[in-house]
Amino acid sequence: MSTGELVGFKSYRARIEVKLKSGYLDPEGETSRKALVDLRYKVNRVGTAKVYEIDLQAPSLEEAKRQVDEMCMRLLANPVKDDYAFEVKEMK
Amino acid sequence: MKEPKICILRVGGTNCDAETKAAVDDLGARSEILHLNKLMDDKLMSYDALIIPGGFSYGDHVRAGAVLGKKVSSALSKELKKFVEEERPILGICNGFQVLVESGLLPAFDGVSDYPQATLAINGSARYECRWVYLKHENRGKCIFTRELQKGQKIFMSVAHAEGRFVFPKEREEKYLQKLEKNDQLVFRYCNKRGIYADGRYPINPNGAFYDIAGICDSNGTVFGLMPHPERAYWGVQLPDWTGMKEAPKYADGRLIFESLVEYLKH
Question: What is the per-residue pLDDT across B70-81, written as a single tens digit (0 to 9) for each?
Answer: 999 888 888 999
What is d(CA B105, CA B116) in angstroms, rounded to the nearest whole number? 8
Question: What pLDDT is stored for residue B138 in this prediction?
Answer: 98
Instruction: Identify whether the C-beta of residue B91 lies closer than 8 Å to the C-beta of residue B145.
Output: yes
CATH 3.40.50.1470 fits B5-266, yes or no: no
Residues 15-44 of A with CB under 8 A from B: 21, 23-25, 27-28, 30-31
* Nearest chain A Cα distance for residue B203, angstroms: 15
pLDDT at position B40: 77
* Nearest Cα to Cα of residue B168 among B228, B124, B106: B106
Active site residue B94: yes
Quote the CA–CA distance of A65 and A72 in Å, as a whole number. 11
Q: Could you say which of B102, B138, B231, B259 is catalytic?
A: B231
CA distance B94 to B229: 7
* CB pair distance less than 8 Å for A28 and B126: yes
B231 tagged catalytic: yes
* Amino acid B108: pLDDT: 97
Q: B208–A25: do the CB atoms touch at under 8 Å?
A: yes
Report yes or no for ipTM above 0.95: no
* pLDDT at residue A3, rounded to an integer: 57
* CA–CA gap between residue B238 and residue B231 (Å, rounded): 9
B contact test, residue of A17, A28, A81 with most B CBs within 10 A: A81
| Residue boundaries of the structural domains of chain A | 10-90
Q: Is A60 on the interface with B (CB under 8 A)?
A: no
Decide if pLDDT at A7 tops 90. Answer: no
Residues of chain B with pLDDT under 50: none
Structural domain spans, chain B: 5-266
Q: Which of B119, B126, B208 sits opposite A78 (nearest CB)?
A: B119
What local confidence, expressed as pLDDT, does residue B1 receive?
60
Enter the pTM of the model: 0.94
Considering the domain A10-90 in this protein, what is its CATH number?
3.30.1280.10
Q: State the catalytic residue, choosing from B94, B143, B191, B217.
A: B94
Residues of A in contact with B117 (CB under 8 A): 80
pLDDT tens digits, residue range B113-126?
999 999 999 999 99
pLDDT of residue B267: 83
Calculate how close chain B gets to A2, using CA atoms only, in Å: 19
Task: Please tell me whether residue A73 adopts helix, strand or coil conformation.
Answer: helix
Q: With helix as H, strand as E and coil as C, how does chain B read?
A: CCCCEEEEEECCCECCHHHHHHHHHHCCCEEEEEEHHHHCCCHHHHCCEEEECCECHHHHCCCCCHHHHHHHHHHCHHHHHHHHHCCCCEEEECHHHHHHHHCCCCCCECECCCCCCCEEEECCCCCCEEEEEEEEECCCCCCHHHCCCCCCCEEEEEEEECEEEEECCHHHHHHHHHHHHHCCCEEEEEECCCCCECCCCCCCCCCCCHHHEEEEECCCCCEEEECCEHHHHCEHHHCCCHHHCCCCCCECCCHHHHHHHHHHHHC
**pLDDT score of A5 more than 80:** no
* Interchain proximity A76–B62, CB inside 8 Å: yes
Give phi and psi for B191, each to the nearest 5. Answer: -140, 175
H or E element, residue A32: helix A27-38
